[in-house]
Structure 1
Amino acid sequence: MPTAPLLVEAFSETHIPEMLDWFSTLEALVQWGGPGLSFPLEAAQIQAMLAGTKAVAPERSMFAGLVDGKLAGHAQVALDWPNGVGRLSRVAINPQMRGRGLAAPFLREVTKRFFTNPAFARLELNVYTFNEAAIRTYRSLGFREEGVRRSSAKVGDVRWDTAIYGLLRNEWN
Structure 2
Amino acid sequence: MPSPSVIVETFTQRYVAEILDWFASLEAVVQWGGTDLSHPLDAAQIEAMLAETTGAEPARSMLAGLADGKLAGHAQVALDWKNGVGRLSRVAINPRMRGQGLAQPFLREVANRFFANPAFERLELNVYTFNDAAVRTYRSLGFREEGVRRSSAKVGNARWDTAIYGLLRSEWTPPNDQNGRPT
Q: Which residue of 1 aligns with 2:178?
A: none
2:144 and 2:3 map into 1 onto residues whose CA distance is: 30
TM-score by length of structure 1 reads: 0.98
2:5 and 2:146 map into 1 onto residues whose CA distance is: 33
Deviation at 1:6, TM superposition (A): 1.3
Instruction: Answer yes or no: is the 8 Å Cα contact 2:3–2:105 preserved in 1.
Output: no
Consecutive unaligned residues of structure 1, counting only runs of 5 or more, are none
Instruction: Answer yes or no: is the 8 Å Cα contact 1:2–1:101 preserved in 2.
Output: no
| Paired residues, number | 173
CA-to-aligned-CA distance 1:60-100 (integer Å, 9 cap, x gap): 10000011221100000000000000000000000000000
Deviation at 1:5, TM superposition (A): 2.7
Q: Which residue of 2 aligns with 1:25?
A: 25
Compared CA separation, residues 143 and 4, structure 1 to 2 (3 A)? closer
Compared CA separation, residues 148 and 4, structure 1 to 2 (3 A)? closer
Consecutive unaligned residues of structure 2, counting only runs of 5 or more, are 174-183
For the residue of structure 2 that corresponds to 1:20, the secondary structure is helix
Deviation at 1:4, TM superposition (A): 6.1
Deviation at 1:2, TM superposition (A): 8.2
Deviation at 1:154, TM superposition (A): 0.1
Mapping 1:91-110, distance limit 5 Å: 91-110=91-110
1:4 and 1:26 map into 2 onto residues whose CA distance is: 30
Instruction: Answer yes or no: is the 8 Å Cα contact 2:4–2:101 preserved in 1.
Output: no
Deviation at 1:3, TM superposition (A): 8.7
CA-to-aligned-CA distance 1:139-160 (integer Å, 9 cap, x gap): 0000000000000000000000
1:59 and 1:68 map into 2 onto residues whose CA distance is: 30
1:5 and 1:168 map into 2 onto residues whose CA distance is: 25
Q: Which residue of 2 aligns with 1:37?
A: 37
1:37 and 1:4 map into 2 onto residues whose CA distance is: 31
1:152 matched to 2:152? The reply is yes
Bigger shift: residues 136-145 or 4-13: 4-13
1:102 and 1:49 map into 2 onto residues whose CA distance is: 24
Amino acid at match of 1:122: R
1:112 matched to 2:112? The reply is yes
TM-score by length of structure 2 reads: 0.92
CA-to-aligned-CA distance 1:118-151 (integer Å, 9 cap, x gap): 0000000000000000000000000000000000
Bigger shift: residues 2-11 or 163-172: 2-11
